[in-house]
Amino acid sequence: MTMLERDEQKELPQPQNSNHHSTAPLKEKLFVNSSYLAAEIPLKLGHFVSNLWPSSALKVNDTIWLLGRSYSITPLDPLQRELFEAQKDHQEVPWPTDFYEDFTSRLWMTYRHHYPPIRPSSHQTDIGWGCMLRSGQSLLANTFLLHFLGRSWRRSDQSTWKEYSRIAHWFLDELSPRAPFSIHRIALLGKQLGKNIGEWFGPSTISQVIQALVSDFAPANLSVYVASDSMIYREEVYQAAAGKRPAIYFSHDREAKALYDASTVPTPKAAQTDIFKPLLILVPLRLGIDSLHPTYHGALKACFEMPYCVGIAGGRPNSSLYFMGLVADELIYLDPHYSRPALETKSLSEYTPEDFNSYHCPIPRKIHISQIDPSMLVGFYCRNRNEFDQLCLQLTKISKENSAIVSVEQRAPAYDEDVRSENDFGIVSDESENDDFE
C-alpha cells in the first residue's frame, strides 16, 4: 500500500455543487465570457508582440536543464534531418525526446472558468487575476510529483495512475475537502491575509498560503519553510521539519475563515519529533527594481541545475510564469495564461488520463532571462536532512561564485519577529502599484 493510499483509505466526500455550466443563466454566461475576453485579448496581443522578437534556436551541444536533470542536444543523422526539416514551422534543432517526455510529465496549472463561485464573491473564473496563484499551484503540484513519485517518474508509467490522479485531483477547482489546494481555498486564505478575492498575489502572499494549505493537510506528509529576507536559518528549518506549525498571522475575516474551515479535513495536531520530515523551502525574492539585475543571472541559472530545485514562480512584467528549466540564457516555463473549462465534478475513480490532458503542456516555451520580472518565489525540496545539508552547501557555493540570491545561516539574529519582512517582496514594508504582478 502506497503512502497516499494509507493516508486516504477512503475517498473524501464530493462537494454538493457541480460544474454543469450548460444550465447557467444567460447573464452568468455573458459575464464569464466577457471577463474571459477582457482578460485574454490583451494577453494574446502581448504574446503576439513578444513573439516579434523570437527566442534563440536550440544549438547542437547545448545542455538543457529541467528541475535538476540535464539533457544533451545531439546532431541528427541525414534521414532524421530530412524528416525533421519537412515539418512545418520547425525550429533549428528538435527538443531531445527524453527531455520532451520529462517536460510533458510536469503538471501545468492554468486559468480555468465555469467553476463553482469562490464564495463570498461571485468569481467563477480567475482569468486576469490568478496567474500567480496558478504558478504557485504548479510549483506545489510538481513538488508533490517529486515527493510521492520520484524525479524519474513519467506520465507514460500507467502503473502509477492512481497515485498521479490523486495528486492531480488535489488541485481541482472546487471548495471541497478532496481538493485541498484548489483556487477556492487559495483565494480564501488570501482574503484572510488581506487580499480580496480577485486580487493579485505577490511572492510572499502565495508562499504563506502554500505553507498554511500544506500544514492543514496531513496526507501531504510535507513540511513547508518560508525564508525571510532571502535568508535560510538552519535552526528554523529543523523546527519546521520536526513538525512545528508555522506562525502565520491571518486577519479576522470570519466569513472567509468559516468557508475555508468547512472545506478542511480535521487532523490531530502532530507532535514535534526528532525526525526530519520531507521539506519544501520557499524563498520570496526581489532581484532588482524594475527588471532582473544582470548580476543575479548566474545564481538564478545555477538553481535549475540543482536536484533540489522545484522551480520558480515569477514572470514577465504583469504576467506570472512558472519556470522549470534552462537552456543557455533562456528559461523554460509553463504559462498559466490559457483558460480552460474547469473539470466536471465526479468521483475520483471516474476520471481518465484524457481528463487531465489539459494539465500537461505539449509545447516547451523559452524566454530570455533578462526579460523576467525581478519578483519571484524560488522553491527547493529536501527529502531528508542529508539533502538539506547538501542544498545548503550548494547554495553557499553559488553565493561565492555569483551575487548571492539566497544565504544560509545557523540561526536568526535576536530581534523582534515583527521586524522581519512579511511583505510581498522581502525588501520593503509597503506595496506600491508599480510592484503588481498582474
- Single-letter amino acid, residue 91: Q
Q: Residue 227: what pLDDT?
A: 96
CA atoms of 51 and 366, how far apart (whole Å): 11
Instruction: Describe the crossing of helices 131-144 and 203-215 by its angle, rounded to 10 degrees.
Output: 40
The alpha carbon dihedral of 73, 76, 80, 85 has a sign of positive
User: Is residue 120 included in any domain, yes or no?
Assistant: yes
DSSP string, 339-377: -EEPPPP--GGG--GGGGGGGS-SS-EEEEGGGS-SEEE
b/e sequence 408-425, b meaning 16+ C-beta within 10 Å: beeeeeeeeeeeebbbbb
Longest Cα–Cα distance in the chain: 67
The C-alpha cell of 310 is what?
Answer: 522545484
Among 400, 358, 407, 402, which residue's Cα sits nearest to residue 378? 407
Residue 332 lies in a domain: yes
Question: Can you give the pLDDT at residue 28?
Answer: 47
Does residue 90 fall inside a structural domain? no
Distance (Å, whole) CA 277 – CA 100: 32
Alpha carbons 68 and 391: distance in angstroms, whole number = 12
85 part of a folded domain: no
In a domain, 321, yes or no: yes
Residue 12 lies in a domain: no
Q: Counting Cβ atoms within 10 Å, is residue 317 exposed (0-12), middle (13-18) or buried (19+)?
A: middle
Residue 178 inside a domain? The answer is yes
Residue whose C-alpha is closest to residue 93's, from 437, 308, 366: 366
**3-class SS of residue 334:** strand
Cα separation, 241 vs 35, whole angstroms = 42
Report how many domains make up the chain: 1
Q: Is the peptide bond before 25 cis (omega within 30 degrees of 0)?
A: no
Question: What pLDDT does residue 270 have?
Answer: 58
Range of the domain at 232: 100-431
Give the pLDDT score at 15: 39
359 grid coordinates: 494539465
Residues annotated as part of the active site: 131, 335, 337
- Decide if 402 is inside a domain: yes
List the alpha helices (DSSP H) in 128-233: 131-144, 161-169, 183-192, 203-215
Burial class (CB in 10 A: 0-12, 13-18, 19+), 192: buried
Low-confidence ranges of the chain (pLDDT < 70): 1-57, 59-60, 75-93, 247-252, 267-273, 315-318, 415-438
Alpha carbon distances (Å) from 121 to 28, 36, 124, 277, 398? 14, 17, 9, 37, 45
pTM of this prediction? Answer: 0.83
